Amino acid sequence: MGKRRVVITGMGLMSPVGNNVQETWQALLNGKNGAAPITLFDTSDYETKFACEVKNYNPLDYFDRKELRRLDRFSQFAILAAEEALKDSGLELDKEDRDRIGVIVGSGIGGMLSFEDEHTKLVTRGPKRVSPFFIPLMIIDIAAGHISIKHNLKGPNFATVSACATAGHSIGAAMRAIQYGDADIMVCGGTEAAIVPSGIAGFNAMKAISTRNDEPEKASRPFDAKRDGFVMGEGGGIVILEELEHAKARGVKIYAELAGMGFTADAFHITQPAPGGEGAIRAMKAALKDAGLQPTDVQYINAHGTSTYFNDKNETEAIKEVFGDYAYELVISSTKSMTGHLLGASGALELIVSALTINHGKVHPTVNYEFPDPACDLNYVPNKAIEKEVNAALSNSFGFGGHNVTLCVKKYVE
């Protein structure tokens, strides 16, 4: 028996440019940038004073005060994105076997805000003032736990943690769970809310994030010669993956087929990518092989595209190594040019974008591309969206620690 085919039937987003999928997609096509001065805390003493926050978000519009005592911001984003994705999928959960529906939702950092708040209480007021909810507020697996509990989903349930590759690993692992018959439906993705004092201070200390405080909206500029670091983002992205025959029996919309994945390690450095994108090369090749595709079957790559010097250069080199001369016929764009870097949630946002690109035949731009870098000489769809038929796409995610994921989506055909 061949591999069970896996399709995407639902999607949900909380992002810096939109609080649902449709808002986010339209903002990306329009080149809308989500960077602005940080409002979540006082940045007077910080090198970087801006980020890509989720806008127009009041938790009390969605959760009551009692619930919020148990929910860090990263869990809130995951729960809301999952709600949208489940609704979008048209699943009637009461008619489904909930033992066959699982949840894999990861985060790169988890409940960082709760950790800060409770540690401050510990230091200033003593151990008895620490909240009894401290640990379940903070731990990374709790977002998946909340979604499972809320919807009574009893299949495979866990979290992945691989820095910026987290959501890619979550979605890939969920695909395998369906292919191997452990589940028929998976709720999967990533979530992050690390725009907190220690998050900004930590990334500033390692010189990873942009300090372009005078022009925040121009700070994220992937593949541009004047890039100076990534921009912190936050949010959550969830996809509903479903075994093909199960989806067809329900007669629901299929956005795309999730056809392949590649997982590799650089085994090189704690933060820098391997020279020449060696680990990324193997991840893309593995995803193509898993999907049964040739390089020339792909039209679009949603790049990791962080706006850091080494990542953008090495990812470009990796694409040229995998695709050869055909690399110059590909269209490539970086969602992070507008949303900033959602860390552990970025791979879910970008897979959703890849599926929408296939659906709509439109490719969003890489904004702020003004000064060409000779080391980055491919077609990054500079500054303006284009129309293009896309039958297959790759979505790249690479994380600190040398973790690489490439997911391959293609147009669904019988």
pLDDT at 1: 54
Q: From the CB of residue 206, how many other CB atoms can be counted at a distance below 10 Å?
A: 11
Round to whole Å and give the CA distance between 102 and 119. 33
Residues 245 and 308 reside in one and the same domain: no
User: In the chain, what is the greatest distance between 2 CA atoms, to the nearest angstrom?
Assistant: 64
Q: Which two tokens stand for residue 75?
A: 């869990």
Round to whole Å and give the CA distance between 104 and 106. 7
CB of 165 closer than 8 Å to CB of 64: no
The angle formed by the CA atoms of residues 309, 24 and 312, to the nearest 5 degrees, is: 10
* Domain assignment of residue 380, yes or no: yes
Q: At what angle do helices 21-29 and 346-360 cross, to 10 degrees?
A: 70
Round to whole Å and give the CA distance between 258 and 288. 12
* Domain assignment of residue 215, yes or no: yes
Residues 299 and 216 reside in one and the same domain: no
* Domain assignment of residue 87, yes or no: yes
* Domain assignment of residue 255, yes or no: no
Q: From the CB of residue 292, how many other CB atoms can be counted at a distance below 10 Å?
A: 12
Amino acid at position 267, single letter = A
* Domain assignment of residue 400, yes or no: yes
Q: Which two tokens stand for residue 2?
A: 């061949």
Amino acid at position 413, single letter = V
DSSP string, 306-347: -S-HHHHHHHHHHHHHHHGGGGGGSEEE-THHHH-B-GGGHH
* Domain assignment of residue 1, yes or no: no
Residues 192 and 214 reside in one and the same domain: yes
Residues 81 and 202 reside in one and the same domain: yes
Comparing CA positions, the residue from 131, 81, 128 lying closest to residue 111 is 131
Residues 222 and 83 reside in one and the same domain: yes
Residues 147 and 193 reside in one and the same domain: yes
Number of domains comprising the chain:
2
Residues 237 and 124 reside in one and the same domain: yes
From 198, 224, 250, the end of a domain falls on: 250
Round to whole Å and give the CA distance between 100 and 355. 24
CA 171 to chain centre: 10
Q: Is 99 exposed, middle or buried (0-12, 13-18, 19+ CB in 10 A)?
A: exposed
CB of 50 closer than 8 Å to CB of 219: yes
CA 47, 16, 260, 375 torsion: positive or negative? Answer: negative
CB of 414 closer than 8 Å to CB of 247: no
pLDDT at 216: 98
Residues 215 and 269 reside in one and the same domain: no
Structural domain that includes position 70:
6-250
pLDDT at 414: 83
SS3 category, 210: coil
* Domain assignment of residue 36, yes or no: yes
* Parallel/antiparallel/unpaired status of strands 300-302 and 392-399: parallel
Q: What is the CATH number for 363?
A: 3.40.47.10
CB of 69 closer than 8 Å to CB of 133: yes
Residues 182 and 270 reside in one and the same domain: no
Ordered per-residue pLDDT tens for the chain, 414 residues: 578 999 999 999 999 999 999 999 999 999 999 999 999 999 999 999 999 999 999 999 999 999 999 999 999 999 999 999 999 999 999 999 999 999 999 999 999 999 999 999 999 999 999 999 999 999 999 999 999 999 999 999 999 999 999 999 999 999 999 999 999 999 999 999 999 999 999 999 999 999 999 999 999 999 999 999 999 999 999 999 999 999 999 999 999 999 999 999 999 999 888 999 999 999 999 999 999 999 999 999 999 999 999 999 999 999 999 999 999 999 999 999 999 999 999 999 999 999 999 999 999 999 999 999 999 999 999 999 999 999 999 999 999 999 999 999 999 998
Residues 136 and 160 reside in one and the same domain: yes
CB of 184 closer than 8 Å to CB of 82: no
Q: Which two tokens stand for residue 100?
A: 């066959």
Catalytic residue numbers read 164
Residue appearing with tokens 């997609």: 25
From 199, 215, 250, the end of a domain falls on: 250
CA 347 to chain centre: 3
Comparing CA positions, the residue from 171, 157, 74 lying closest to residue 396 is 171
pLDDT at 177: 98
Residues 44 and 173 reside in one and the same domain: yes
Residues 182 and 318 reside in one and the same domain: no
From 250, 284, 299, the end of a domain falls on: 250
Helix (H) or strand (E) holding 10: strand 6-14
* Domain assignment of residue 310, yes or no: yes
